[in-house]
Amino acid sequence: MAILLRSEDKIIVQGITGNQGRFHTGQMVAYGAKVVGGISPGKAGQQVEGVPVFDTVRQAVAATGATASVVFVPAAFAKDAAYEALENGIRLLVMIPEHIPVQDSIDIVTRAQALGAVVIGPNTFGVITPGEKTKMGIMPNHIYRPGPVGVVARSGTLSYEIAFSLTNAGLGQSTVVGMGGDPVVGQNFISVLEAFHQDPETKAVVMVGEIGGSAEEEAAEYVKTLGKPVVAYLAGRAAPPGKRMGHAGAIIERGRGTLDSKERALTAVGVRVVTMPWEVAPAVREILG
Amino acid sequence: MKQYEYMAKGRLKERGITVPPGRIADTPEEAAKVVAEIGPSALKAQVLVGGRGKAGGIKFASTPEEAVIQAKAILGMDLKGYRVDRLYVEAKLEIERELYVSVTTDRNAKKPLVMASAAGGVEIEEVQDDLIIRRLVDPEVGVLPYLGREIAEAMNLSLPLAREFSELLVRLYAIYRQEDAELVEINPLVVVDGHLIAADARLNIDDSALFRHPEFELVEEGSALEHTVHQLGLAYVELDGDIAVMANGAGMAMATLDAIQHYGGRPANFLDAGGGAAVEPTAQALSVLVGMHPKAIFINIFGGITRCDDVAQAILQVRRSQGIPVPLVVRLVGTNEQKGVAMLEEDGIAAFSEMSEAAQRVVELAGEGR
């Protein structure tokens, strides 16, 4: 068991012939993901890493029965690609690109909601389920192991750091989900926590948050009913207000989105909040015994 | 990207929202000329921060002579860290009421959010919560006049004003949606002679959408160094410490600053070299750090997509071409780690594998910490 992504999910790659698409298709295939097709208009008939290329999502879905898509197209074309996927029956959509206009992201998540599809990202590293040897995204293959810890993060490399420290401490992961670093993204902590709540394999959850917005504060209310222990590490204590710290969404605006407010909200509902990334694995170890 | 008040008002005016008559002025003489033309005026500092009035950035002049004196007082002054180089000279208004209205994005709801209040004229954060009307907008429906009428009703606006407000809100939402605004705010929205006028305005455009808006004049915020590094395509923020920092990925970079602070050090900057940085951009980024003349440099890499040998090569390249005259601490973990570490060690640079040890060490080398 795991959440969001299962071994049987058939995956297509939109933008498969670009540098990123090509490289990560290889990585996904090597990890064991069922990548059944790729999209690149005008390139039908080619193969990338043994994966057949189609001109349209419509063709690819008809030929392969794919239900999941990971998008690598440039930000300016991402809305078109996302709609193409959603309108053709894709129900798990992972949006890798950074710098997608917020208005486009609003449209994408609104349409996905209406169709009952799940959007992960934009500006995400994706989702990986080590126990089922499948992934959609750009995370390195070798740092994960199957196990009982669910991880939900806003940031890529920081989540790698933490997942790897869990692995090194003998704590494998059920599923690792990247929400994405943009202001508007498909998943929030609550939606991912709800999925972890339903998953019997997940015994504890690690939240990797950061300054900006109020997703952590909103999640705190839900944690009360989660019924599983949560460890949180949040980045950005040293960040000055009004400055965007790399991620479009990582900004303290008009006094909102401070680390202090997030840590207080999570601590109040019994989340074990640690102050440094290397304290996460020991805290999980302590809780799981 | 923030827009100056005069730019924001230009956009409002184009969209049919009434703004007071006004012009920009870069010298006291220009300010005097505008006052001679439009009569008693407010001279407003054009800076990208709120609360200018309280900070002395808005003064009034009834005559051209007064305008010269007041403009001299404001131009060149330091306003909350921003130097005032430009004024917006605008007709003084006989204000009956001050309201507030804005459109922005609610990140949690993933929808546009309209906020309005009958208690305008102060920063919205200072307004009592129950005096603020909040309405989420379904992006597939948009803002139709009825929403404006409902909000006007909640603000106790009577009919001619309520209709004007409703039309204004439709236009404001069109700016938010069609011009990719992160925030479009009128505060205060004033009542003069029974009509609505946008007395002050803020407009922030989504940086990610600038590619489809060539109509916006580029407004650079931040220091000269920040501009330089942004032009390299790297996320960079200047801080006030003296340990220069580079990491790959925004979250890692933030966590690295936190770790330095944790051990009592003071980071000089935030720099995200990118999740999959190659040799050249990494070398350029490091070169910038060296040029900052910090007390020490900390490079913190978790190689996933980034390859540790590429990072090592970038470091050696900079060391050979321009030299690194301050203590350098490198933490290198992940893809091709052994190769990268060996390359650095050959050149006498020790690489750490634990982030905590590396952070502690760089703070020591900078002569800081507890």
Over 90: is that where the pLDDT of B156 sits?
yes
**Confidence at residue B224, expressed as pLDDT on a 0 to 100 scale:** 78
Task: Let me know: does A138 contact A178? Beta carbons within 8 Å.
Answer: no
Residue A256 has pLDDT above 80, yes or no: yes
pLDDT at position B329 is: 95
Assign residue B151 the CATH number of its domain. Answer: 3.30.470.20
Strands A204-210 and A47-48: unpaired
Contact B251 A156 (CB under 8 A): yes
Residue B75 placed within a domain: yes
B151 three-class SS: helix
Domain assignment of residue B294, yes or no: yes
Chain-wide mean pLDDT for chain B? Answer: 92
Instruction: Write down the pLDDT at residue B231.
Output: 80
Rounded to two decimals, the ipTM of the complex is: 0.92
Query: Are B361 and B248 in the same domain?
Result: yes
Tokens of B120: 């305008």
The pLDDT value recorded for residue A289 is 83
Contacts of A240 in chain B (CB under 8 A): 237, 239
Using the predicted structure, report yes or no on whether residue B59 has a pLDDT greater than 70: yes
Sign of the CA dihedral running A156, B317, B362, A167 = positive
Question: A99 to chain B: which residues are within 8 Å by CB?
Answer: 207-208
If pLDDT is split at 50, 70 and 90, which confidence band does B282 have? confident
Task: Tell me, yes or no, whether B163 and B254 share the same domain.
Answer: no
Report the half-sphere exposure of B135 (CA within 13 A, side-chain side).
22
Please list every residue in chain A whose beta carbon sits closer than 8 Å to the beta carbon of residue B269. Answer: none
pLDDT of residue B275: 62
SS (H, E, C) chain A: CCCCCCCCCCEEEECCCCHHHHHHHHHHHHHCCCEEEEECCCCCCCEECCEEEECCHHHHHHHHCCCEEEECCCHHHHHHHHHHHHHCCCCEEEECCCCCCHHHHHHHHHHHHHHCCEEECCCCCEEEEHHHCEEEECCCHHHCCEEEEEEEECCHHHHHHHHHHHHHCCCCEEEEEECCCCCCCCCCHHHHHHHHHHCCCCCEEEEEEECCCCHHHHHHHHHCCCCCCEEEEEECCCCCCCCCCCCCCCCCECCECCHHHHHHHHHHCCCEEECCHHHHHHHHHHHHC
Q: Which of A31, A72, A103 to mutate to test the interface with B (most CBs of B within 10 A)?
A: A103
Give the residue on B whose Cα is nearest the Cα of A161: B302
Chain B within 8 Å of A151 (Cβ-Cβ)? no
Domain termination residue (choose one: B46, B76, B91): B91
The least confident of B75-84, B222-231, B323-332 is B222-231
CA distance A283 to chain B (A): 16
Distances (CA, A) of A3 to A156, A192, B224, B351: 18, 8, 46, 37
- Rounded CA gap, A168 and A146, in Å? 12
Q: How far apart are CA A111 and CA B295, in angstroms?
A: 51
pLDDT on residue A252: 85
**C-alpha span between A165 and B221 (Å, rounded):** 38
Question: Do B58 and B43 meet the contact criterion of CB atoms below 8 Å apart?
Answer: yes
- B198 lies in the same domain as B279: no
Percent of chain B at pLDDT exceeding 70: 99
Per the domain annotation, does B141 fall within a domain?
A: yes
Distance CA B59, CA B66 (A): 10
Query: Cβ of B110 under 8 Å from any chain A Cβ?
Result: yes
Q: Which residue has the tokens 């992201």?
A: A105
Question: Is B88 a catalytic site residue?
Answer: no
Residues B53 and B117 reside in one and the same domain: no
Q: Of B66, B164, B185, B337, which residue is the catalytic one?
A: B185
Mark which of B39, B67, B91 sits at the end of a domain.
B91
* B 274-293: CB under 8 A from A: 275-276
Backbone angles phi, psi at A133, to 5 degrees: 50, 45
Do B123 and B145 lie in a common domain? Answer: yes
Mark yes or no for CB contact B111/A110 under 8 Å.
yes
> Which amino acids of A are annotated catalytic?
247
Q: Which residues pair with A31 in a beta bridge?
A: none
Which residue, among A109, A97, A128, A107, has the nearest Cα to A14 in the 3D structure? A97
Question: How far apart (Å, rounded) are the C-alpha atoms in residues A99 and A79?
Answer: 12
Mean pLDDT of A263-269: 95
Which helix (H) or strand (E) segment is B14 a member of?
Answer: helix B5-14
Average pLDDT over residues B39-58: 90
pLDDT digit string, tens, across residues A142-179: 999 999 999 999 999 999 999 999 999 999 999 999 99
Cβ atoms of residues A129 and A175 within 8 Å? yes
Instruction: Describe the crossing of helices B279-291 and B308-321 by its angle, rounded to 10 degrees.
Output: 50
Per residue in B180-239, pLDDT (tens digit) is: 999 999 999 999 999 999 999 999 999 999 999 998 988 887 777 888 888 877 889 999
Kindly list the residues from chain B whose CB atom is less than 8 angstroms away from the CB atom of residue A77.
none
Q: What is the pLDDT of residue B369?
A: 66
Residue B3 lies in a domain: no
Reported as a pLDDT band with limits 50, 70 and 90, residue A33 is very high
- Across the interface, of A157, A247, A276, the residue whose CB is closest to B262 is A276
**Strand B351-352 versus strand B328-334 pairing type:** parallel
Catalytic residue among B4, B88, B100, B236: B100
Domain boundary among B59, B91, B123: B91
- Cβ–Cβ below 8 Å for B247 and A157: yes
Judged against a pLDDT cut of 70, whether residue B277 lies above it is answered with no
Q: How far is A137 from chain B (nearest CA, A)?
A: 11
Residue A1 clears pLDDT 80, i.e. is over it: no
CATH 3.40.50.720 fits A11-120, yes or no: yes
pLDDT of B87-108, one tens digit each? Answer: 999 999 999 999 999 999 999 9
Could A218 and B247 be called an inter-chain contact, meaning their C-beta atoms sit closer than 8 Å?
no
CA atoms within 13 A on the CB side of B273: 34
For residues A184-206, give the mean pLDDT.
Answer: 95
Going by the DSSP 8-state scheme, the letter that residue B131 receives in this structure is: G
Q: How many other CB atoms are there within 10 angstroms of residue B44's CB atom?
A: 24
Give phi and psi for B325, each to the nearest 5.
-80, 5
Do B252 and B357 belong to one domain?
Answer: yes
Domain with B291 in it: 221-368
| Rounded CA separation A233/B64 (Å) | 59
Residues B266 and B353 in one domain: yes
Chain A interface includes B113 (CB < 8 A) = no
A214 reaches B (C-beta below 8 A):
yes
CA dist., res. A268 & res. A270, Å (int)? 6
Cβ-based neighbour number of residue A34 at 10 Å: 17
If contacts are CB pairs under 8 Å, which of residues 45-104 in chain A contact chain B? Answer: 75-76, 99-104
Q: Among residues of chain B, what percentage have pLDDT more than 90?
A: 76
Q: Considering the domain boundaries, does residue B56 fall inside one?
A: yes
B225 and B364 housed in the same domain: yes
Residues 6 or more apart whose Cβ sits within 8 Å of residue B34: B22, B23, B25, B41, B67, B89
pLDDT value at residue B220:
81
How many distinct structural domains can be found in chain B?
Answer: 3
CATH of the domain at B277: 3.40.50.261
Q: Are residues B226 and B204 in the same domain?
A: no
Contact assessment for residue B127 and residue A94, using Cβ atoms and an 8 Å cutoff: no
Phi then psi for residue B287, to 5 deg, are: -60, -40
- CB-CB neighbors (< 8 A) of B249 in chain A: 155-158, 246
Instruction: Using the structure block, give the residue that is written with the tokens 């597939």.
Output: B140
- How many Å lie between the alpha carbon of B250 and the closest alpha carbon of chain A? 5
> Which of B183, B185, B302 to mutate to probe the A interface, most A CBs <10 Å?
B302
Chain B residue at shortest CA distance from A215 = B108
Contact at CB, A238 and B254, closer than 8 angstroms? yes
A and B: number of Cβ contacts within 8 A:
170
Q: Are B254 and A183 in contact (CB < 8 Å)? A: no
Is position B179 within any domain? yes
Residues B81 and B28 in one domain: yes
Asked if the structure places residue B289 within a domain, the reply is yes
Q: Is residue B85 part of a domain?
A: yes
Residues B226 and B182 in one domain: no
Choice among A162-166, A184-188, B134-138, B215-219 with the minimum mean pLDDT: B215-219
Q: What is the pLDDT of residues A80-138, one digit of tens each?
A: 999 999 999 999 999 999 999 999 999 999 999 999 999 999 999 999 999 999 999 99
| Residues of chain A contacting B335 with CB distance shorter than 8 Å | 140
> Residue A127 in contact with residue A209, Cβ under 8 Å?
no
CB contact under 8 A, B354 and A154: no
| pLDDT tier at A233, thresholds 50, 70, 90 | very high
Q: Taking the C-alpha atoms of B58, B64, B70 and B73 in order, what is their torsion angle to the nearest 10 degrees?
A: 130
Each domain of chain A, given as residue ranges in start order, spans 11-120, 140-288
Domain identity same for B271 and B352? yes
Is B132 in CB contact (< 8 Å) with chain A? no
Question: Cis ω on the peptide bond leading into residue A122 (within 30° of 0)?
Answer: yes
- Chain A interface, best mutation among B207, B254, B332, B360, by max A CB count within 10 A: B254
* DSSP states of B158-209: -HHHHHHHHHHHHHHHHHHHHTTEEEEEEEEEEEETTEEEE-SEEEEE-GGG
Query: CATH code at B70?
Result: 3.30.1490.20
Please state which of the ranges A192-196, A246-250, A262-266, B200-204 shows the lowest mean pLDDT. Answer: A246-250
**Among candidate residues A211, A231, A228, the one with its CA nearest the CA of residue A278:** A231
Task: Give me the residues of B, 333-352, that contact A with CB < 8 A.
Answer: 333-335
B258 vs A103: CB contact, 8 Å cut-off?
Answer: no
Does residue B47 have a pLDDT over 70? yes
Contact between A157 and B108 using a beta-carbon 8 Å cutoff: no
Residues of A in contact with B139 (CB under 8 A): 106-107, 110
Q: Which CATH number fits domain A140-288: 3.40.50.261, 3.40.50.1100, 3.30.1200.10, 3.40.190.10?
A: 3.40.50.261
**Mean pLDDT, residues A202-210:** 96
More confident residue, A289 or B42: B42
B332, containing H or E segment = strand B328-334
Packed helices B64-74 and B28-38: angle between N→C axes, nearest 10 degrees: 140
A140-288 and A11-120 share a CATH fold: yes
Q: In 3D, which of A95, A105, A123, A134 has the Cα closest to residue A11?
A: A134
Is A221 in the B-facing interface, judged by CB distances under 8 Å?
no
